[in-house]
Amino acid sequence: MTKLGFTTRQVHADRMLNAPEHGGVHTSTSNSVLFEFNDAQGIIDAFQGKRAAHVYSRSSSPSVAALQNMLNDLEGGAGALCFATGMAAISSALFALLKAGDHIIVSQYLFGNTRSFFDTIVDFGVQVTYADVTDISEVMDAYQPNTKGVYTETVANPVTQVADLRAIGQFCNEKGILFMVDNTMTPPPMLYAKDFKASLIFCSLTKYIAGHGNVLGGAVIDTGEFNWQTFSNIKPGYQVEDVTQWGLTQIKKKGLRDLGATLAPQSATAIALGMETLALRISRSQHNALQLATFLDNHPKVAKVFYPGIADHPQHFLAREYLNDGYGAILSFDLIEGADPVAFLNEMKLVICATHLGDNRTLALPVAPTIYFENSAEDREKMGISDTMLRISVGIEDTADLIVDFESALATV
């Protein structure tokens, strides 16, 4: 068969990859925590890793395994592991792979809770240097002999800085260090992090992958690009025969099993349902975002728009090269001086004032006094976040309805 298109693949992935019971086109939700072995040697072999089997659902279960297969297929990886949330995927994997005395280079433009988590691992003795990932020379300058990897997001929220993924991937590859990419903001088919030599891809499934705002989940996908033999932290017991599985084996044991932030089987089903329409939703959201960004950019009450699709965005050309069919669906903007962003938000009828992003519905949030409230003014300035900035996660509504909502709210400013 010729290579299937993205959406064809998505709507048939469960059936093709997982061969659900009874000829179902969906893997069913299986709630069993424990799994029976008719032959006692079977459970011994499963514990010793000599045989692949579900033993206890904190570590693996059929519904979660089916979703992992689909996510791995989506990113073209060598394996995937799901967690209860995006934060659980990030924190469990980093705790599993890093130890005191290691150094990592981290994007200075990060999702707020990820940034806060990096403060925690610093308390555990991991050294962190923040760098401007739009500038490869800053990343290179931060390198030290004990550097274990670089961690970045693709397009940062809320200011939409685009990381120089190609140059960073090249650099990590030359140095033999991990390239960890949070691809939550630009999941396939928007961007394939493997094309940029990412080693591990992190994703909050809560956002675009599910899209409907009814479920939390996270994943880490190993692209198979990294040679784990060069990574000194993999414990001898996790150096399994297939070298591509060393990292995930350690993340599964030390991260998922020991820290225990397991994705619920019901959640796996809800995420898989959303994933079927990923490309359709992303296409519509990206289209809406570009229309809205252009509208706002030309509006006299708007001082500045941050969106990679706008020609004067500092990384517009990187975004054009890296992103497929659009520029993402997150944009931020500042109203003109003196205009009250809170009063403006209160005038919106359709757009929902809420945190969260990547939803089917358009959401708006004043970022400085909410998700960046814990950060100092100096930190916010470094991230490019003004006190009055509004972030918009553009949904899949009809474009005209969104423009009307913004137009009438702006008229009251």
Q: Which residues of the shown chain bind ligand PLP in the complex (CB under 6 A)?
A: 85-87, 111, 114, 153, 157, 182, 184-185, 204, 206-207, 216, 218, 357
Q: What angle do CA 362, 368, 373 make, to 5 degrees?
A: 120
Nearest residue relative to ligand PLP (C-beta): 86
Count helices and strands (H / E) in the chain: 15, 12
Q: Toward ligand PLP, which CB reaches closer, 9 or 207?
A: 207
Q: What is the DSSP-derived secondary structure letter of residue 255? A: I
Dihedral sign of CA atoms 53, 57, 60, 65 in order: positive
Q: Toward ligand PLP, which CB reaches closer, 201 or 357?
A: 357
Taking the complex as a whole, the smallest distance from the CB of residue 153 to ligand PLP amounts, in Å, to 5
Q: Toward ligand PLP, which CB reaches closer, 206 or 288?
A: 206
Please give the Cα distance from 211 to 269 (Å, whole number).
Answer: 13
Q: What strands, in cross-sheet order, belong to the sheet with 147-153?
A: 79-83, 218-222, 200-204, 178-182, 147-153, 103-107, 127-131
Q: Toward ligand PLP, which CB reaches closer, 9 or 115?
A: 115
Please give the Cα distance from 179 to 249 (Å, whole number).
Answer: 18
Please give the Cα distance from 226 to 250 (Å, whole number).
Answer: 15
Instruction: Specify the 3-state DSSP secondary structure of 177.
Output: coil
Taking the complex as a whole, the smallest distance from the CB of residue 13 to ligand PLP amounts, in Å, to 21
Taking the complex as a whole, the smallest distance from the CB of residue 139 to ligand PLP amounts, in Å, to 19
Q: Toward ligand PLP, which CB reaches closer, 140 or 261?
A: 261
Token readout for 58 is 């904190």
Taking the complex as a whole, the smallest distance from the CB of residue 92 to ligand PLP amounts, in Å, to 11
Q: Which of 392, 178, 184, 412 is nearest to 295 (CA)?
A: 392
Taking the complex as a whole, the smallest distance from the CB of residue 196 to ligand PLP amounts, in Å, to 16
Query: What residue ranges in 90-237 does DSSP mark as E strands?
Result: 103-107, 127-131, 147-153, 178-182, 200-204, 218-222
Taking the complex as a whole, the smallest distance from the CB of residue 402 to ligand PLP amounts, in Å, to 21
Taking the complex as a whole, the smallest distance from the CB of residue 330 to ligand PLP amounts, in Å, to 9
Q: Toward ligand PLP, which CB reaches closer, 113 or 294?
A: 113
Q: Toward ligand PLP, which CB reaches closer, 27 or 204?
A: 204
